[in-house]
Structure 1
Amino acid sequence: MFKKLIVPIFYTALFSSAAFGQIATSTSKVKLQLVTDQLSHPTAFAVTTKSPELLFVCEQEGKIRIIQNGKLAATPFLDITKEVLKKDGYDERGLLGLAFHPDYATNGKFYVYMSVAAVPDEKGVNHRSEVREYIVDKGNPLTANKSSMRKVLVFDQPESNHNGGDLKFGTDGFLYISAGDGGGADDKHGQYGNAQNLSNLLGKILRIDVNNTPYSIPADNPFVKTQDAKGEIYAYGLRNPWRFSFDRNTKQLFAGDVGQNKYEEVDVITKGGNYGWRPIEGLHDFRSDDPKPVNPIATIAEYPHPEGLSITGGFVYRGKAIPSLAGKYIFGDMMGPIWSLTPGANDKWTREKLSIGKDAGYWHVYSFGEDLSGELYVLTVLLDSNKGALYKLVP
Structure 2
Amino acid sequence: MIKVKVRLRPVVSKINLPTVLKTTIPPGDSMERLFIATQVGEIFYIGNSSVRTFLDIRSRIIKLGSSEPGVSGRGYDERGLLGMAFHPQFNYNSLFYLHYSVAGTQGPGALSEHFKPDPCDPGTLNLRWINRETQYDHIDTVEEWILQSNGQPQKRRTLLNLRRPFFNHNGVNTLNFSPETGKLVLTTGDGGAGYDPFNLSQDNMEIAGKIIEIDVDKNTFFDNPPVVTRFNELPVPIQETLTVIAKGVRNIPGIQFQRVYNQFIKFVGNVGQDLAESIFSFVHYKPIPITQLIQASLRNTEPELEGLINFGWRGWEGAFPTSTIRGCTQNPTLVEKTIAYYNEAVKTSVSRLQPLTSYFHKDPRPDKFGGTALTGVQAYMGNGIPDLTGGVVFTDLARDGESPAKGVLAYTRVRTDGKLSDFSVIETDYNFGSQSAYYVSLGTNLNQTRLFLGVYGSMKVTDFNQGSVFEIVL
Structure 1 match to 2:335:
none
CA distance, structure 1, for counterparts of residue 190 and residue 278 of structure 2: 15
Once the two structures are overlaid, the 10-residue window that deviates more, 98-107 or 47-56, is: 47-56
2:274 is the counterpart of 1:265:
no
Shift in Å, 1:160: 0.5
Structure 1 358/85 Cα, relative in aligned 2: closer, same or farther at 3 Å? Answer: same
Q: Distance in 1 between matches of 2:315 and 2:415?
A: 28
Aligned residue among 26, 30, 37 for 1:58: 37
What aligned pairs does 1:1-395 form with structure 2 within 5 A after superposition? 26-50=2-26, 51=29, 52-73=31-52, 76-88=53-65, 89-117=75-103, 119=105, 122-140=133-151, 143-144=152-153, 146=154, 148-165=155-172, 166-171=174-179, 172-189=181-198, 193-214=199-220, 232-249=243-260, 250-269=263-282, 270-271=285-286, 272-286=308-322, 287-290=341-344, 292-293=347-348, 294-306=350-362, 307-335=370-398, 336-348=407-419, 349-357=421-429, 362-373=436-447, 374-383=449-458, 387-395=466-474
Structure-2-length-normalised TM-score: 0.69
Distance 1:369 1:97 in 2: 12
Q: Give 1:29 shift.
A: 3.4
RMSD of aligned alpha carbons? 2.5
Q: TM-score, normalised by structure 1?
A: 0.83
The structural deviation recorded for 1:137 is: 2.2
Percent identical residues: 32
Report Cα offsets for 1:278-301 as digits up to 9, x if no partner: 011111111214352142111111
Q: Which runs of 5+ in 2 are unaligned?
A: 66-74, 108-132, 223-230, 233-238, 287-307, 323-340, 363-369, 399-406
Equivalent residue number for residue 11 of structure 1: none
Kept after mapping to 1: 8 A contact 2:106/2:138: no
Once superposed, which parts of structure 1, at least 4 consecutive aligned residues long, lie more than 4 Å away? Answer: 117-121, 358-361, 383-386
Q: Deviations over 1:250-291 (max 9, x none)?
A: 522111111111111001254411110001111111121435
Are the aligned partners of 1:124 and 1:158 in contact in 2 as well (CA < 8 Å)? yes
1: CA distance between counterparts of 2:467 and 2:161?
29
* Preserved CA contact (<8 Å) 2:455 2:469: yes
Residues 1:176 and 1:113: Cα distance change in structure 2 (over 3 Å): same
Q: Between Structure 1 and Structure 2, which shows a larger proportion of helix residues?
A: 2
Q: Report if aligned partners of 1:36, 1:389 keep a CA contact under 8 Å in 2.
A: yes
The change in CA–CA distance for 1:188 and 1:118 in structure 2 (over 3 A counts) is: farther
Distance (Å, rounded) in 2 between the aligned partners of 1:345 and 1:152:
38
Per the TM alignment, residue 372 of structure 1 is displaced from its structure 2 partner at its CA by: 3.1
CA distance in 1 between counterparts of 2:437 and 2:96 reads 30
Query: Quick one: which amino acid aligns to residue 49 of structure 1?
Result: I
Contact 2:10 2:469 in 1 (8 A): yes
Q: Which amino acid aligns with 1:363?
A: A
Name the SS of the counterpart of 1:212 in structure 2.
coil
Q: Any idea what SS the aligned residue of 1:106 has?
A: helix
Which moves more between the two structures, 239-248 or 195-204? Answer: 239-248
Amino acid at match of 1:79: D
* Structure 1 unpaired stretches of 5+: 1-23, 217-222, 225-229
- Please name the residue that 2:326 is paired with: none
Conserved? CA contact 1:163–1:182, under 8 Å: yes
The alignment partner of 2:5 has SS state of coil
| Structure 1 residues 141-171: Cα deviation after superposition (integer angstroms, max 9, x where no partner) | xx42x3x331111111011100014111011
- How many Å separate the matches in 2 of 1:87 and 1:345? 43
